[in-house]
Structure 1
């Protein structure tokens, strides 16, 4: 059996944990630069006239009229709260696969004499007691069925956020309840294709001939079909596979016409992705840099461009990557435009132990792995970019993301700890 644990309205719930005055009230979280709504709690979702992913400036008056509290994205807070949840889950099973920031699979095979509903209820209650975050728990023989059970735990009140599909009768009842679009792995393209041939429920899908599924939906569809039949096909992975590419693309808080500040932002983003690169013990072969104006603007001239640099020797060295990113930026930058975004992406990732030298390139002093390790240790201990390249400069506030409505980082910053007033 496999358990799927999923935090309910995770971003919004993280905000409500430290704001009990917002319990039971509509809350939404905004994207980078407060651009659009990316998350909402159930109270906000019930306000159907608040569209998801709509530009905030278009609907801000609707949020205010409906007394919806909105927050800027606080990824530092969300990431730390996620770690707390995952640590709790590790006390329930020796094998935990972290699927996303708010979801995880638990291997519960061999729990023969355990009351699985009581087990799931214990998970739900302990996470809520220790973190204040509500979760749903679905338990079933396969990953796809566990995802479906998790969905049922939230959608059907009788389950009270814990659903166990431990018999074939329960499995078939779940398949009869679920729409084909509710099934994990069935995207919009396959959903429309299946509906066109009369497959509207999950039970209809499992009745299709396996040969048809294999031909029309490839091996991915075959695995989903078999998992819905109760046959495990999707591997349980405690250690995630290394990323094949690492990148970031963030809009500036304001439009930037000058190359200097764009270089500083680019250096900052390279610093971020290089840390992730080293964390998975990889080196990059290529660096891609792209530059964009704001295509939503009706008053600015528009321009975008991108280029790729092949590194002489694959590296994870921040300073070397910044040097080559600057070269790329100089190739694509044009004066006379107001830029909104720079994107960096590292590809051609290989294990750092497999890096080969270059007869025509002399390694620089900054390729010292110990130096990078020291930087990472200091920045983890004292905060991001405590020690960094001088190329980042001191004008971060002139281009960083807009975060006017960001809540305090309650769990990671001493100066932002929650203050509790004491009545005298």
Structure 2
């Protein structure tokens, strides 16, 4: 059975940071046809209604149909501690993160939080995430099981740490390799699930553990590798003390085989010229986490990097202060303004959809509306509150209609969510 979703359709024919704003295309009276979990056609509503006369119709009028949001850097185990008060990165880890992550030694608790987290993000239009788990294998099983039940495309991996963490949260170079390999072989490529090799960051991994994970990545090169890079200045100074032999923060990963295409680095705020050049040369990805970077006082990401690198967008739950990618787009706009960079709504939306898909090397499957793509969609009400409605009423084009929702929208703006061709809930 074909489902035909009608409304204003936003899709991308290219990268608006590189190819210009015309890369974002809008069908004012558009439609998206879905069969067997995939998009089969996109076009004018009248044409597709004639082509699919027996389709189930879902007419959303002037609402916006978009690819589902993709959150490219999260810590689902930090769901319960989001918006905790008043710490910088190292204090945040010791005060909030590590005590909460200790609780994930209980598989039942891990499953409870995994289900809660996915319900929260789906209600906000996010259909894919790339998540860190904890060192406990059960935490990986929990998030993959919860995603599999919902038919979601999801990326995740066991967080590996063998120093500078509480005893209950440390593994070893050997167990990090063995546990990660076992989980990878269990989950990677099953349904819509992908395993990600996951050293937390250099301060919590010895060179030996980073080397072991680099060896694992060489053995399984089709996986992604995720970690943190240059989030705060005091963190960078700590890395310099821990790795006196390294040229810079990035070199702590590069020397151990953890820099190439498929590497996904969160934050990347305070980069040296050498690090920028090597990231471009290697074809690596960066993920901008604006609410986290302001909430924890980390700094302001340089969005000009999006013209040279794959750049995605993320809430960074729970260092970030909100589960919503709309809220995250608003924060990205404000951070860019503080750097003298004005981001267009087409660029902000790209970062939350196709940009994040590219950062996760899955832009051929999700993050855009085109025939053959997986049918993960969100329908956005562009007049979801009185404040937003009065602003959109004055708009002269879709971008002026959309921008108030980016800046003021929340879960009330999410009219409908589709995951793998199924409406959630149905």
Q: Do both proteins adopt the same fold according to a TM-score greater than 0.5, normalized to the shorter chain?
A: no
Structure (1/2) with the larger strand percentage? 2
TM-score (structure 2 length as normaliser): 0.30
Give the TM-score normalised by the residue count of structure 1.
0.30
Relative contact order, higher structure (CA 8 A, sep 6+): 2
Which of the two has higher C-alpha Rg? 1
